[in-house]
Structure 1
Amino acid sequence: MRSTGSKLFFGLFAGSVCAASPAQPAAPAADSYTAHTTFAKLVPKYPFIKVASAEVPPSVQAYRDITYTSIGARPLQLDLYLPARRSSKMVPGVVFVHGGGWRTGVRANFAPMAIRMAQRGYAAATVSYRLSPEAPYPAAIHDVKAAVRWMRANAARHGIDPGRIAVGGGSAGGQIVSLVGVTGGMRAFDPGAGDGAVSSAAQAIVNIDGLSDFTSEAARKFEDDPAKQPSSAGAWFGGRYAEKTALWHEASPTFYVNAAMPPILFIGSGQTRFAVGREEMIAKMDAVGVASRVVLFPETPHSFWLFDPWLEPTVEATVRFLDEHMGPRQ
């Protein structure tokens, strides 16, 4: 059954740090997709916004620059945020995946949300993954599945419940986590899932403004725009829709809906182009009895979750959904 079967609309809402490695991540390029570069673009139209704080309060422990897997000599890292005070009860976890058109962006974009999730009793990891200039699709999918495996394999060490791990992401990250979630258990999407391997299956998905169908005409209007040489999606797939049709189809989460998949929370902005495929995917989920929920923030820009006043209601919607579908926290 579809969860609380409805769309929710929101209007405008007026720790101690333990470093896993002393190294600091390299500063992002000036044109990278970060909260600060996006703020500069958005503040003229939305003068009331503020970049959400990534300051770690005493109630949260942060473990930074943890290598969760290596591709040859290339380490892929995550930052892990945990509730500082915990009972003996294990906490649920969530792996957050940043956006940036599959070719830019940094994991620090999700630090403010991860910190707030840790304050609410979740273990939250923000992950880096291979972007399209480094490796095309499906490398990012493999990387995120490896991050989920890392969290599950290291669950006991950090007091995380290995049976309650969600994936969440925004923009390109939203599409990535949807695909990661709906393809749980499919070895074609997870080369690390050999016999006896730790599972990369997620128990819930939070898709924030991420596409569900690359192949629809509405999506291709933007993602396959011939004026863009290449478009963000075209760069990720290594070719336009006509050239790489099979990959554009393969990467669309809507085509993997099945009764065993996790429930999905869709959180959307006022920019409808990023919701393409969502309603069709929900209809398929309804047909097989998988829960979904849609929470919309009208009149908001894409990337709203990077900023106050929108981050807090985004966190609240996420916590309510995960609590409902993964069980209570401590």
Structure 2
Amino acid sequence: MTMVDIEALVAPAAAEPLAPIPTPVDQVAGFPHSDEVPEGCVVVDGVDTDDFFYSTDIEEVPYATRTLADGSDYELNMMVYTPFHDDDNMPDGRPEAGWPVIVYMRGAGFFKPRKNSFNSLYIRLAERGYVVVVPEYRPAPVAPFPAQMQDAKTAVRFVRANAQRFGIDPDRIALFGDSAGGHTALLAGFTGDNEPDTPDYAQTSAEVRCIVDWYGPTDFTMMNYYPSSQSHNPAQCPEGMEIGGVNVLDHPELSRQASPMTYLTAERPTPPTLIMHGSRDLLVPFNQSCRLYVTMRELGKDVTFYKLNNASHAAYGFRSNKAIAMVLDWLAERL
């Protein structure tokens, strides 16, 4: 066995054992600096700030029970992703008024999303200091429009009514959704405490501070006029199922009622809205976001539109650090 004279190579800091240095969490950054640099050790400067910062607690919480047309009950839960620090080396970091909140509506063509299918996104948002709430909602085959937007608004109210329990700021809630979930986030955010609504937690407001829409449908009757990998008219297509299992173009009034742009008016205030859409979206035509953006601008709304050139539907750009950073930067200003 080869012996190494470690004491000759790395001298101890003191001749006698040292007493502990009590260090409160808020003074960790001032703990004594070590100036040791053994030969061959590479000193890396500028790594004294944590980019993702928080760990994430995940829990499942029931928030509503719906009675379906057949009289049966349909239980709705939400996944809650909460930032935290799991050791004594960092301060808790929670703002005095509580964490800001993102209520995220996951898309799945108005059907039931696969649970935790966007876990990486939820955790990325939570690790930057947001409580992320992902509600279950009734899928279109179980209950068509306006069930999804009603469930989204109930989820917002439930979280706000339980602000102390979740450690959140009830005045800083955003709605965020992708695809069909973007459609739901827009509808819930545009209508707030107005109809279509439900009486659940009616004493608490469903109004939100801002909305993030990733490639959500906005005008059902115009979807088939632009390139797509599927038809958006038949009764069994996602949009047809959302309006009750009927043909979209044969039922223009139902389609109008289920389209977010219908609920925009110059008179009613609209939360600031961020729209992001890929130019090669094969499921929701890019024009859907153009129609929403132009309408909001004409009505004098606070709206930001990012076209992700060559990005597709939920991929080829949307699963990138750059796309997430754009959302976080925008939220930092609005929320």
The equivalent of 2:253 in structure 1 is 246
Match of 1:100 among 102, 108, 112: 108
Judged with a 3 Å threshold, the aligned counterparts in structure 2 of structure 1 residues 185 and 229 are, in CA distance, closer, same or farther, namely closer
Match of 2:310 among 299, 320, 325: 299
Q: Following TM superposition, by how much is the alpha carbon of 1:79 offset from its aligned partner in structure 2, in angstroms? A: 0.8
Contact 1:130–1:139 (Cα < 8 Å) also in 2:
yes
The equivalent of 2:209 in structure 1 is 203
The question of 1:191 aligning with 2:186 is answered no
Match of 2:169 among 161, 165, 169: 161
- Percent of counterpart pairs with the same letter? 27
Judged with a 3 Å threshold, the aligned counterparts in structure 2 of structure 1 residues 90 and 258 are, in CA distance, closer, same or farther, namely farther
Structure 1: runs of 5 or more not aligned: 1-56
The equivalent of 1:256 in structure 2 is 263
CA distance in 2, matches of 1:112, 1:312: 12
Q: Secondary structure at the match of 2:177?
A: strand
Q: Following TM superposition, by how much is the alpha carbon of 1:183 offset from its aligned partner in structure 2, in angstroms? A: 0.9
CA distance in 1, matches of 2:118, 2:200: 27
Q: Secondary structure at the match of 1:274?
A: coil
CA distance in 2, matches of 1:182, 1:250: 13
The question of 1:62 aligning with 2:60 is answered no
Q: Secondary structure at the match of 1:258?
A: coil
Q: Following TM superposition, by how much is the alpha carbon of 1:225 offset from its aligned partner in structure 2, in angstroms? A: 4.7
Judged with a 3 Å threshold, the aligned counterparts in structure 2 of structure 1 residues 200 and 309 are, in CA distance, closer, same or farther, namely closer
- Length-normalised TM-score, structure 1: 0.73
**Deviation per CA, 1:212-267, whole angstroms, max 9, x where unpaired?**
111226468867556x5511111121211244322210111112223501011111
What amino acid is aligned across from residue 76 of structure 1 in structure 2? L
Q: Following TM superposition, by how much is the alpha carbon of 1:135 offset from its aligned partner in structure 2, in angstroms? A: 1.4
The equivalent of 1:314 in structure 2 is 323
Q: Following TM superposition, by how much is the alpha carbon of 1:94 offset from its aligned partner in structure 2, in angstroms? A: 0.6
CA distance in 2, matches of 1:176, 1:83: 25
What amino acid is aligned across from residue 288 of structure 1 in structure 2? L
Q: Secondary structure at the match of 2:218?
A: coil
Q: Secondary structure at the match of 2:265?
A: coil
Match of 1:324 among 301, 323, 333: 333
What amino acid is aligned across from residue 82 of structure 2 in structure 1? L
Aligned-residue Cα RMSD (Å) equals 2.5
Contact 2:311–2:317 (Cα < 8 Å) also in 1:
no
Trace 1:84-123 onto structure 2 (pairs within 5 A): 84=84, 85-87=92-94, 88-123=96-131
The question of 1:78 aligning with 2:61 is answered no
Contact 2:112–2:138 (Cα < 8 Å) also in 1:
no
Contact 2:276–2:305 (Cα < 8 Å) also in 1:
yes
- Length-normalised TM-score, structure 2: 0.72
Q: Secondary structure at the match of 1:151?
A: helix
The equivalent of 1:267 in structure 2 is 276
Contact 1:254–1:277 (Cα < 8 Å) also in 2:
no
Contact 2:224–2:232 (Cα < 8 Å) also in 1:
no
**Deviation per CA, 1:34-58, whole angstroms, max 9, x where unpaired?**
xxxxxxxxxxxxxxxxxxxxxxx99
CA distance in 2, matches of 1:79, 1:308: 25
Contact 1:131–1:140 (Cα < 8 Å) also in 2:
yes
Contact 2:226–2:287 (Cα < 8 Å) also in 1:
no
Judged with a 3 Å threshold, the aligned counterparts in structure 2 of structure 1 residues 198 and 315 are, in CA distance, closer, same or farther, namely same
The equivalent of 2:238 in structure 1 is 232
Contact 1:212–1:275 (Cα < 8 Å) also in 2:
no
Higher helix proportion: 1
Q: Secondary structure at the match of 2:290?
A: helix
Structure 2: runs of 5 or more not aligned: 1-51, 68-72, 85-91
The question of 1:282 aligning with 2:293 is answered yes
Q: Which has the higher contact order (CA 8 A, sep 6+)?
A: 1
CA distance in 2, matches of 1:217, 1:106: 25
CA distance in 1, matches of 2:259, 2:317: 31
What amino acid is aligned across from residue 62 of structure 2 in structure 1? T
- Which has the higher Rg, Structure 1 or Structure 2? 2
The equivalent of 2:220 in structure 1 is 214
Match of 1:132 among 137, 140, 164: 140
